[in-house]
Amino acid sequence: MDQLLFIGNLGTGEIIIIAIIVLLLFGGKKIPELMKGIGKGVKNFKDGVKGLEDDIKVDDTDSDKK
């Protein structure tokens, strides 16, 4: 279980090193595009989950009426 929680042990130095590596890999111009794409993906995922939850609620109310 401790192996899954390694993110909690990151300090400021480690975060700075990771940020520098990401900057070197993707470049300054690609990072905003990457973050925009990730944001759209998360939004689409949340919308999909909400749609499934709504469908489940509708199915539950339909089965209760029968």
| 3 DSSP assignment | T
Q: What is the CATH number of domain 6-65?
A: 1.20.5
Length of the chain: 66
pLDDT for 65 equals: 60
pLDDT digits (tens, 9 = 90+) for 5-62: 556 677 889 889 988 998 888 888 888 888 899 999 999 999 998 888 888 877 667 6
pLDDT at 3 over 70: no
**Do the Cβ atoms of 22 and 30 come closer than 8 Å?**
no
pTM value is 0.52
**Do the Cβ atoms of 34 and 26 come closer than 8 Å?**
yes
pLDDT at 1 over 50: no
